[in-house]
Amino acid sequence: MTDRVLWVTGGGSGMGQAVAVSAAEAGWRVAVTGRRREALLETVEAVTSAGGVAVAAEADATDPASLARAHERIVAGLGPVDDLVTAAGLNAPRRRWDDQSMTEFAAIVDTNLTSVARTIDLALPTIRDAQGRIVVISSFAGWRFSTKGGVAYSASKTALASLCATLNEEEGAHGVGATHLCPGDVDTPFLSMRPQVPEGAARETMLTPEDIGRAVRFILDGPPHVRIDELVISPTRPSARA
């Protein structure tokens, strides 16, 4: 068991919520941030029901001031951040060169890449002191090229691999370890952003948020001398893969 503080962005639903609950069961005190207060409170209730401790701090990760205020509330409520999981993400149904919107393109890159760097930058000083772990939830599209994710999404997720690599190169001496986590299809509300939303049998073959929660917990719970640079998780049945 641990008494460390874990910050989970995108913690109101899907993979972020599953990560928060799984980590809390292992003893982490969890802070969840996201745009939707009601969803965050649902996560806090789920963590509490599992016997854990959690706080919610509403924040827009693409707004530096909003994110900084949330970080301050986390530190005031739980203490300095020891470990971080970034699970917030964005895509759009219009994702091809022949139909995409540059406004949406910028929002996707800001959410999937820039806000991840912004969050890490805020928490890194105390993560460094704690020799903590940073898990960046990316995508299968960030590991292997696929046109299905779209131009902005695939580019932003691919860039997260470089972000994690530079963290490991520069911060490894301080005991910090970053993991580029690349899940295949996961049955979450995020699927509603697809041009054709999967239904029924297609969803049944996908990974679950709880699968990702267990994977993240495995990374966080590893010994200090072990770093998992990249982890790819796919559904067994390739027909479900995007």
Residue 74 CA to residue 7 CA, distance in Å, equals 8
Active site residue 157: yes
List strand residue ranges (DSSP E) for 148-215, in order.
177-183
Out of 13, 22, 139, 157, the active site residue is: 157
Q: From CA 132, how far away is CA 83, in angstroms rounded?
A: 5
Q: Which of 115, 153, 154, 156 is catalytic?
A: 153
Q: Tell me what percent of the chain is helix, strand and coil, each rounded to the nearest 5.
A: 50, 15, 35
- Could you confirm whether 101 is annotated as catalytic? no
Burial-class residue 213 by CB neighbours within 10 Å (0-12, 13-18, 19+): buried
Please report where in the chains the tokens 């200090």 appear, as a residue.
224
Active-site annotation holder among 13, 22, 115, 138: 138
Nearest Cα neighbor of 181 from 119, 226, 230 is 230
In Å, how far from its chain's centre is CA 86? Answer: 3
- Does the annotation count 148 as an active-site position? no
Looking at the annotation, which residues are catalytic? 138, 153, 157
